[in-house]
Chains A and B, each alone.
Chain A
Amino acid sequence: MKRVVITGLGAVSPFGVGTDSLMKSLSAGDSGIQAMDELAQITGLNPTIAGKVPDYDAKLIPRKFRRTMSPMSIFATLATQEAITQAGLSKEIITGGTAGLSVSSTVGSVQALQSFFTKFLDGFSIEEIKATEFFKIMNHSCAANLTQCFEITGRVMAPSAACSTGCQTIGLAAEAIAIGKQDIMLCGGADELHPLTVSTFDIIQAASTGYNEHPASTPRPFDVDRDGIVCAEGAGILVLESLESAQKRGAEILAEIIGFSSTADPSNLVSPSSKAIAQCMQLALDDAGIEPEAVQYVNAHATGTVLGDAAESSAIASLFGSKPLVSSLKGHLGHTMAASGALETIATILMMNNGLVIPTRNLVDIASDCIGITHIKQIENRTILTVLKNSFALGGINTSIVLRRDND
């Protein structure tokens, strides 16, 4: 099996375009959550806040490619461009067949679906439907648009697993390199905000509804006053490649992926079980060939839900005890859905490279069902070399990734 390293990162988040704006805002303890008039106008919808990507220039993407892109594909394209630039990948490498892609979203563009059905249901007519609409709706819209835009000719995968998508795409990309099928993989996730997602979490009573007047005070992972998820949008893209390929190109190695696991939890479609989460993390450690004691930091999935945060805390405590530092970035970013696993992995890699650990924003009083692990409430300047990243999803899909960075 080949060793897999990370050589490029790209981000579009509620803090704007670029990994610099992401890390600057995370380090400053900013919140990306804001009041949303478009949500406040919806009858019966309780949450009226979300994390929106602020100004971005979609016209940086040529119209030929942009015409089939909904916002999620635009986010993914801007993030991919940043990741490719950082990795220093030439056009020849990207188009030559040794580079593939593993990128997906939770659903195709609901905005485009809404546009189709608004016209379709008005007299059951398709006469006003544009040719480019379906390319925004199809499940692999992000992957297909990136493939066309960057002229990728290697394998293209669009594995969709709700909120685990962003980590699962990274893990599957790493495996494609490890078994020698591709030298390089672009991977990650993207999503765009739509009331469908916000209302889904509201309907299943997993959305934060008590802080509409104080958007920056929620979500509150692990906090005694947490009351649910806040939906957000964005894209996170990473360049993965074999160690051999990176060394041959002279690329800077940001971290190595040493372990990955993706497991299913059939006990419940919605509520994660602590046992299944612990098993997922254990399998990732087994894959990495390391003991729990080696892990210095866990970047938690923790979205701010009552059940999810407690189950994850309990699982981390059972496997690691209180040794590793633990934080969730959802308090800053909200839940960027399919982008979350990738964006938070990117932030974690940047923490490893910058000698700091970002705390959990809005964690003031640790809830009694989230104790037994080492939460951090203030930014810490500390070198972390071996970390574990979690992502869990509706549908019972769990993923964990183990990353390592050499002490140089």
Chain B
Amino acid sequence: MTDPEVIQHVNDLLAEEFELTFDQMRPEALFKEDLELDSLDAVDMVIILEQAFKFKIKKNEAFKRIRSLNDLHKFVLEKKKEL
């Protein structure tokens, strides 16, 4: 999977789980302020990403610092490289 494919896959997963439109999903979109996702959503985001990419995120400090969609894309790409 290329990097753009990974990013698209992440966006597809979030769009389905959180009923987001692709218009909303600009890279700079903030999860809390722009996409209106909260701490419960963050927990479910971890689960769907772990299932999709077969890596572990729970209790990851870097994940807790994620604020924007772009932050998440970078995080997922990094984690995939560690596999």
Contact = CB atoms under 8 A, between A and B. Distances in A.
A64 interface: yes
Nearest to B40: A131
Interface string B33-50: 000100011011001001
A148 to B, nearest CB: 12
B36 A131 contact: no
Interface string B51-82: 10000000000000000000000000000000
Contact of A63 (B19, B43, B50, B51): B19
Given A63-B18, A64-B36, A128 B51 contact: yes
Interface residues of B, number: 10
A388 to B, nearest CB: 44
Contacts of A127: 47, 50
B51 A132 contact: no
A132 B19 CA distance: 15
Interface in A282-332: none
A132 B18 CA distance: 12
A129 B44 CA distance: 8
Contacts of A128: 47, 51
B50 A132 contact: no
A131 B42 CA distance: 9
A130 interface: yes
Contacts of A64: 36
A246 B68 CA distance: 49
Interface of B: 18-19, 36, 40-41, 43-44, 47, 50-51
A67 interface: yes
Interface string A54-93: 0000000001100110000000000000000000000000
12 contacts: A67-B40, A127-B47, A128-B47, A128-B51, A129-B47, A130-B44, A130-B47, A131-B40, A131-B41, A131-B43, A131-B44, A132-B40
A127 B57 CA distance: 11
Contacts of B36: 64
A132 to B, nearest CB: 6
B23 to A, nearest CB: 16
Interface of A: 63-64, 67-68, 127-132
B53 to A, nearest CB: 14
A74 to B, nearest CB: 15
A255 to B, nearest CB: 40
Contacts of B19: 63
B44 A132 contact: yes
Nearest to B46: A131
A82 to B, nearest CB: 24
A128 B49 CA distance: 11
Given A64-B36, A128-B51, A131-B41, 5 more contacts: A63-B19, A127-B47, A127-B50, A131-B43, A132-B40
A230 to B, nearest CB: 35
The list of the 8 closest CB pairs from A to B, nearest first, reads A131-B43, A131-B40, A63-B19, A130-B44, A131-B44, A130-B47, A132-B40, A128-B47
Contacts of A132: 40, 44
Nearest to B36: A64
Nearest to B42: A131
A129 B46 CA distance: 11
A127 to B, nearest CB: 7
A132 B36 CA distance: 16
A127 B46 CA distance: 10
Contacts of A131: 40-41, 43-44
A131 B51 CA distance: 15
A196 B41 CA distance: 30
B24 to A, nearest CB: 12
A63, A128, A132: residue with the most chain B Cβ atoms closer than 10 Å: A63
Given A63-B18, A63-B19, A64-B36, A130 B43 contact: yes
